[in-house]
């Protein structure tokens, strides 16, 4: 449980979007290698991203351009996109300079572009992507910014384009600022609205939810084995 100092930091981060983002960026700079070892190195069926990602890929045309928002070190997702036989392109964006450095090393392809930026303030051409995936990243934006991010994401998608992402689910995932002082050794913050409010925000952005799935982590490290749950949203731009 967070001590008083951590609780104060959480309260400050909830009120200050710049501090919130600084904690996230510095936290992932610090734990990028540990995260890579634990969660990103290999695709496996225990990996909650795999099924939603496979379903997304099945919808996409040859040569599709995918935005990977909060791409981390680029594996397994961005790498799988450029390795697909259909010659797809990926643009990965991440707020952590270290994650982007790793992504450039691990996914060296002329069909991959990696940018270090806050995905919520990224500037993209309207209707320039066939799909956007954001696995385990939207909940690192302060929740008051979720509506604006969904609206921007919708504007970047071609009509009929797909947006697949997840949030934490359940009591642990519904806070304005949930803070851990030991996320793979780093301080980290998360923020989400409950499911019904998120669905409203998506609808207001012009994104209809075509499928939702609640998934529970059952393997992995100690934290994972505690039964964390995540809700995956598959959306379509109208």
Ligand X SMILES: C[S@@+](CC[C@H](N)C(=O)[O-])C[C@H]1O[C@@H](n2cnc3c(N)ncnc32)[C@H](O)[C@@H]1O
Rule CB under 6 A: choose which of 79, 89, 140, 143 binds ligand X: 140
**168 lies in the binding site for ligand X (CB under 6 A):** no
Residue 77 or 202: the one with the smaller Cβ distance to ligand X is 77
Coil, strand or helix: which one is 200? Answer: helix
Handedness of CA 40, 49, 176, 181 (dihedral sign): negative
Rule CB under 6 A: choose which of 119, 131, 179, 235 binds ligand X: 119
Token pair of 149, please?
A: 């991010």
- Minimum distance, C-beta of residue 188 to ligand X, in the bound complex (Å): 9
Burial status of residue 93 (CB atoms within 10 A of its CB: 0-12, 13-18, 19 or more): buried
**95 lies in the binding site for ligand X (CB under 6 A):** yes
How many residues sit in the footprint of ligand X (CB under 6 A)?
23
Classify the phi-psi angles of 141: left when phi > 0, otherwise alpha if psi is within -120 to 50, otherwise beta. Answer: beta
Residue range at the interface with ligand X (CB under 6 A); choices 115-123, 168-176, 197-205, 227-235 = 115-123
Distance CA 112, CA 124 (A): 16
DSSP string, 173-197: G--S-EEEEEETTEEEEE----HHH
Crossing angle between the packed helical segments 195-204 and 146-156, to the nearest 10 degrees: 40
Residue 139 or 161: the one with the smaller Cβ distance to ligand X is 139
Give, in degrees to the nearest 5, the angle at Cα 103 between 102 and 108: 115
Site string for ligand X, 17-36 (x = CB under 6 A): ----x--x---x--------
- Minimum distance, C-beta of residue 150 to ligand X, in the bound complex (Å): 13
Site string for ligand X, 29-68 (x = CB under 6 A): ----------xx--------x-------------------
Residue 70 or 161: the one with the smaller Cβ distance to ligand X is 70
- Minimum distance, C-beta of residue 204 to ligand X, in the bound complex (Å): 20
DSSP string, 104-145: HHH---TTEEEEES-GGG----TT-EEEEEETT-GGGS-GGG
Rule CB under 6 A: choose which of 9, 60, 90, 93 binds ligand X: 93
**137 lies in the binding site for ligand X (CB under 6 A):** yes
**72 lies in the binding site for ligand X (CB under 6 A):** yes
**157 lies in the binding site for ligand X (CB under 6 A):** no
**70 lies in the binding site for ligand X (CB under 6 A):** yes
| 8-state DSSP, 84 | S
Coil, strand or helix: which one is 42? Answer: coil
- Residues found near ligand X in the complex (CB under 6 A): 21, 24, 28, 39-40, 49, 70-72, 77, 93-96, 99, 118-120, 135-137, 140-141
């Amino acid at each position: 449980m967070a001590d008083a100092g951590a609780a104060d930091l959480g309260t400050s981060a909830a009120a200050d979007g710049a501090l919130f983002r600084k904690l996230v960026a510095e936290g992932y700079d610090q734990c990028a290698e540990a995260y890579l070892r634990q969660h990103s190195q290999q695709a496996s069926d225990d990996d909650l991203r795999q099924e939603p990602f496979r379903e997304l890929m099945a919808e996409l045309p040859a040569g599709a351009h995918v935005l990977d928002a909060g791409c981390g070190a680029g594996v397994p997702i961005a790498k799988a996109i450029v390795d697909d036989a259909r010659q797809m392109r990926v643009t990965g964006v991440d707020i952590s300079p270290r994650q982007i450095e790793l992504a450039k090393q691990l996914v060296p392809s002329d069909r991959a572009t990696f940018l270090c930026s806050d995905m919520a303030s990224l500037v993209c051409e309207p209707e320039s992507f066939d799909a956007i995936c954001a696995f385990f990243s939207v909940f690192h934006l302060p929740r008051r910014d979720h509506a604006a991010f969904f609206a921007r994401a919708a504007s970047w998608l071609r009509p009929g384009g797909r947006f697949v992402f997840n949030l934490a689910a359940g009591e642990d995932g519904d806070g304005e600022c949930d803070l851990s002082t030991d996320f793979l050794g780093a301080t980290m913050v998360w923020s989400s609205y409950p499911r019904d409010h998120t669905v409203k925000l998506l609808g207001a952005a012009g994104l209809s939810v075509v499928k939702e799935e609640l998934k529970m982590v059952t393997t992995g490290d100690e934290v994972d084995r505690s039964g964390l749950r995540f809700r995956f949203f598959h959306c379509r731009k109208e």
